[in-house]
Structure 1
Amino acid sequence: MQYRNYNNSSNYFWLGLIIFSLFGGFKTVLLLIPIVFVFLPVLLIGFVFIQIIRAIAKNSSINSGLQGASVDRTKFVELFTRLLIHLAKADGKVDQSEITAIKSFFHVQLRFGQAQLKWIDDIIIAAQNHSYSIDELLKECKENFDHSTHLLLLELLYHVANADGHISSSEVKVIEKIIKTLGISDFEHKQVKSKYNMSNSDEDYYLILGLEKSASQDEIRKAYKAAAKKFHPDTVQHLGEDFKSVAEEKFKGITKAYNYLKK
């Protein structure tokens, strides 16, 4: 998969080439071109020049928001955003309200600044114009990230999909494919989606640990230890503090459930 790149090296190369040609680099060649075609290359060069300047300005603006970001973080954000577009396309089209919900999540929940939001805008446009298959995206996830990061990814996808209080059947199918491909167990899936199936009863705490209400104290203890290991915030700290904070909220819920159920 080709990730988005905001390095301006190639843009500066073409810009330099255009300036070189305008100051006589291709003077001899231009003299051989019939007069009728003299203005065509000038117009073409002018158009390309403007496009390169715009590309440099855009990349520089986005790059300012990526300073200090790890490779893992930039890859994860792009994969996550592209998977969100697949979720949005699940019903056949991408509505503006769905795009707004995606941007709102990054702005409100992850507190992305303006430069970072321009980055998300660029990924969304790229994902709509050149959509990698979901299999390609999940292959990248498996090759680049561990299981704890896969669980965080699923948590985030659920969060955005449930933004309107409802997850459609078509979105469920996409999520099920993601779960199967990334090797997320039914037990782990229950733990992740428990947040969106709350009934304000004791049963909620069992759901958070992925258990049935009939679970024994030994099963509760084992489930807590396993969940604490898989969902610990430190396992995703390489993605940045904003994603770590999402994991911290999940971890607090797990700890609260265990403290309530243990005797």
Structure 2
Amino acid sequence: MIKWIAAFLGYFLFRFPGAVLGFIVGSFLDNFGGSGNRTRTVFENVTRQSVSPADFELNLLSLCSIIIKADGQVNQRELDYVRQYFLSTYGKEKANAIFRTFNQVIKKREISAERICSFMVQRTRYEVRLQLLHFLFGIAQSDGQVSKAEAQKLKEIARYLRVGQHDFESIMAMFIKSADTAYKILEIEKTATDDEVKKAYRTMAKKYHPDRVVTENEAIRKGAEEKFKEVQKAYETIQKERGLS
């Protein structure tokens, strides 16, 4: 029950990325009932098969802190973005407790993104990791733009999360707009012929069609719908630009 409440609150505030993260965190709370020793370090259980909510929270916050610090400064709008998500998920009292820990995490000089991502890879499906990356892009953009340093760090995290290059570039194109954004979403070059554009659209539409995502996870299913809409929007943009029928 907690996972669905968290997913709903996350979706209400941050759309699909918030729903996914809310579902993940809520699932941990459902499964472990709030048990766990908060005195353990962030990375102590990376290789263990079980994990407490406290461990998950700290690893998630650590990834957030890596993005927030990527450009060499701590931006208040990015902090507020993360804080608002945890407030919506846990409520004021617990969120404040989490952020007391977060204040310590964000002051750490070195946090191993590779080790945290190893933790995530072992415990989440590929579709969920795509949405985690989407959420991290949201943090980076919350101050108005994704800096070069943030983009580079996100690329590094994507590699550790074992996210494919084409999937990474497709997600990035949703946050970093350019003249060829629509083409990047369809995973083709701007020099592609009209026939290649149509073929790419058919391929991507098939790849991201919601019917292909067989899952009981409502958040993942909605994510497929969102991606499908982005693919359609990209194709419509190119159609208009080229006068395609």
**TM-score per shorter chain, which class?**
0.5 to 0.7
Residue type of the alignment partner of 1:155: H
Q: What's the counterpart of residue 99 of structure 2? A: 121
- Residues 59 and 116, structure 2, Cα contact 8 Å, conserved in 1: yes
What displacement does 1:102 show?
2.0
In the alignment of these two chains, the number of paired residues is 191
Equivalent pair of 1:105/1:160 in contact (CA under 8 Å): no
Of 129, 145, 151, which aligns to 1:150? 129
Question: Structure 1's 70 and 79: CA in aligned 2 closer, same or farther, altered over 3 A?
Answer: farther
Q: CA deviation at 1:246?
A: 6.1
Contact 1:228 1:251 in 2 (8 A): yes
Question: How far did 1:96 drift?
Answer: 4.2
1:223 pairs with 2:201: no
User: Which blocks of at least 5 consecutive residues in structure 2 are unaligned?
Assistant: 1-24, 32-50
Question: Which of 147, 169, 191 is equivalent to 2:148?
Answer: 169
Q: Is the 8 A contact 2:78 2:142 kept in 1?
A: no
Q: Distance in 1 between matches of 2:167 and 2:102?
A: 29
| Residue pair 2:209, 2:225 contacting (<8 A) in 1 also | no
What is the deviation of 1:244?
Answer: 7.0
Higher helix share: 1
Report the counterpart of residue 69 of structure 1 in structure 2. 29
Residues 125-173 of structure 1 deviation map (CA, whole Å, 9 limit, x = unaligned):
3523666421211110111112111111111111110111222222222
Structure 1: tracts of 5 or more residues without a match? 1-64
Check 1:208–1:121 CA distance in 2 against 1; reply closer, same or farther (3 A cut).
Answer: same
- 2:81 aligned residue (81, 96, 101): 101
d(CA) in 2 for partners of 1:79 and 1:86? Answer: 11
The correspondence of residues 1-263 of structure 1 with structure 2, limited to 5 A, is 69-71=29-31, 74=53, 78-106=58-86, 113-115=91-93, 117-118=95-96, 120-128=98-106, 132-198=111-177, 203-213=180-190, 214=192, 215-228=196-209, 237=217, 248-257=225-234
What TM-score results when the alignment is normalised by the length of structure 2? 0.59
Identity of aligned residues (%): 22
Tell me how far apart the structure 2 counterparts of residues 204 and 146 of structure 1 sit (CA, whole Å). Answer: 27
Distance change in 2, residues 1:254/1:230 (3 Å): farther
| Secondary structure at the counterpart of residue 118 of structure 1 | helix
Runs of 4+ in 1 over 6 A off after TM superposition: 65-68
* Partner residue, 2:35: none
Quote the Cα distance in structure 2 between the aligned partners of 1:99 and 1:190.
25
* Rg larger for: 1
CA deviation string 1:242-262 (max 9, x = no partner): x87666544432344457769
